[in-house]
Amino acid sequence: MECIGAIDQGTQSTRFFLYDTAECRPLASAQVGFPQVYPRAGWVEQDPLAIWGSVQDAVQQVMEQARAQFPQLTVRAVGITNQRETTLVWDRLTGQPLHNAIVWLDNRTAGICHAMTQQLGSQDHFRPVTGLPISTYFSAYKLKWLMDHVPAVAAAAAEGRAMFGTVDSWLIYQLTGGVDGGLHITDVSNASRTNLMDLATLSWHEPTLRLFGVPPAMLPQIRSNAEVYGTVKAEGPLQGVPIAGCLGDQQAAMMGQRCAVSEAKNTYGTGCFMLLNTGQELVQSSHGLLSTLAFQLGAAAAPHYALEGSIAIAGQGISWLRDRMGFIASAADSEEVAGSVPDSGGVYFVPAFGGLLAPWWQDDARGVIVGLTQYSTKAHIVRAMLEAICFQTRDVLEAMQADSGTERLPVMFVDGGASQNDLLMQMQADILQVPVRRPAHMETTSLGAALAAGMGVGMWTAEQAFTDLKHNTGGTLFEPRITSAAASRRHAKWKLAVQRSFALAELTADLQEDSEPRAEAAEGRAVAAAAGKPPT
């Protein structure tokens, strides 16, 4: 039994899949979670070693499971897909992280972004080169914060010891030996999310590096999405296997859905991400979207580009209802609770917990629930949260149609954990007024990484991947059930609610300032206790 492995390193967990090489169908999988770290309101971090440990555990579980069933199992290649924009810096001499990873949805860099916007005169200063607006979302601002605020990172950068990367770079480094010769590389899709890469040349943009104060020696080498980068040297069941594919998670999902030119997919994960394949044409957005790499399937292949709309809160909003509010016992319960009422009762929920991304780009927005009356129940709020995902997706689709000239999509391909919610998918079709197709195999992100790795070792060509191996035509199709006029009326009310969420960051800023003395006192007591000293 020959197979392809796919490491899917996400925001809240890591999964590992094995796919057969005949039809690229899943044989075995495992999922391992890891903790999130919330140092302050709006700050989100992860322990890089915990990320790496979750990968090792997931791989071990799957390989034990698979080899029990297929004793002669051979892994021909492994692909990687990862949470994008999450930023890491580690020491070239020790191989150890110099700080926790700063996660893609962290908003601590708002001050840096505001200052840079004022300095450069426009939030869109970088768009002609990088395709991206100035935003807390992207890696360059997180890296600048680390260099400005973490002495260990600043010293390592000055001494040439610092290695910067997104999660793909960190994993490839660890897999290929770590401090003992580990490779320092990234792929074009992840590099396109740093705000440091020139989309036209697929290389680091030196004027932008200078502006951010980033030494070129910190940066990984940029490679295509489908080629052999090296072999696994880390101890474990994948040792000796070629690493032959790598894509950021949303590009991997696009690959897994086999989106052809002018086709789009929407992934419902922690956030929500819609990508439209624009082919070899680099379309610059004037409606609040991102111009980004879709994929480059081989070192000599032409790049394909995409328009992307990124929504920060989707599945994470459902988790918030469960973990913070106790409105639901599990994520799956959201469908039953929301379905217990016929509508949201006039309630609109804008989950701008750390600001709004596309197409609004309002980092000073904060979450609001509007339209509450004595009639409102937790079921209305849960339903309003699901509707918020759908309304945000319509915001993005309308911007995408304006930028690309696409009048109407024939279908929207969907994937990701929250897309398993039938009520959510039906509401999405209703609000978009577009049929929504959910594939039979939902894990399109890992499938995309496997397809790229198979191309990287010559198992199949790109043409075969997009035709012979395409099995996303099955699954479930959700057709709109409400009129276009009704969907437009509800969307107009949603946009009024969005306006109410703007410029509310000052409220949480005051709360943060009030709580910092207490936090510092608590930290001081903890340090004293660790040192065996009496508390002060």
Q: Quick check: 207 pLDDT over 60?
A: yes
pTM score, whole prediction: 0.82
**Do 2-254 and 258-438+482-500 come out as alike in CATH topology?**
yes
Are 16 and 482 in contact by the 8 Å Cβ rule? The answer is no
Q: At the fourth CATH level, which superfamily is domain 258-438+482-500?
A: ATPase, nucleotide binding domain (3.30.420.40)
User: Given pLDDT bands bounded at 50, 70 and 90, which one contains residue 521?
Assistant: very low
pLDDT at 48 over 60: yes
* pLDDT at residue 408, rounded to an integer: 81
Q: Are 143 and 89 in contact (CB under 8 A)?
A: yes
Percent of the chain with pLDDT over 70: 93
Among 205, 216, 321, 272, CA closest to 419: 272
- At 533 the pLDDT is 37
The average pLDDT across 66-76 equals 91
When pLDDT is averaged across residues 319-344 and rounded to a whole number, the result is 93
Pairs from 519-526 (Cβ < 8 Å, separation ≥ 24): 519/40
Q: Give the distance between the most distant pair of CA atoms in the chain.
A: 70
Q: Where are the domains of the chain?
A: 2-254, 258-438+482-500
* 245 vs 462: CA distance, rounded Å: 13
Confidence of residue 105 (pLDDT cuts 50, 70, 90): confident
pLDDT at 255 over 70: yes
For 130-148, what is each residue's pLDDT tens digit? 999 999 989 999 999 999 9
Rounded mean pLDDT of 330-338? 92
pLDDT for residue 86: 96
User: Is the pLDDT confidence value at 345 over 50?
Assistant: yes
Amino acid at 321: L
Where is 316: in which H helix or E strand? helix 315-323
Residue whose tokens read 């002060």: 536
Confidence of residue 310 (pLDDT cuts 50, 70, 90): confident
The chain-wide mean pLDDT, for the chain, equals: 90
**Model confidence at 534, in pLDDT bands (50, 70, 90)?**
very low
2-254: in CATH 3.50.50.60: no
pLDDT band at 93 (very low <50, low <70, confident <90, very high): very high
Round to whole Å and give the CA distance between 305 and 252: 13
Rg of the chain over all Cα atoms, to the nearest angstrom: 23
| Closest listed residue to residue 15, CA positions, set 496, 523, 450, 514 | 450
Among the ranges given (150-164, 403-417, 457-471, 487-501), the one the predictor scored with the smallest mean pLDDT: 457-471
pLDDT of the residue at 74: 92
161: tokens are: 């010891």
Beta bridge partners of 356: 362
Start-to-end CA span in the chain (Å): 64
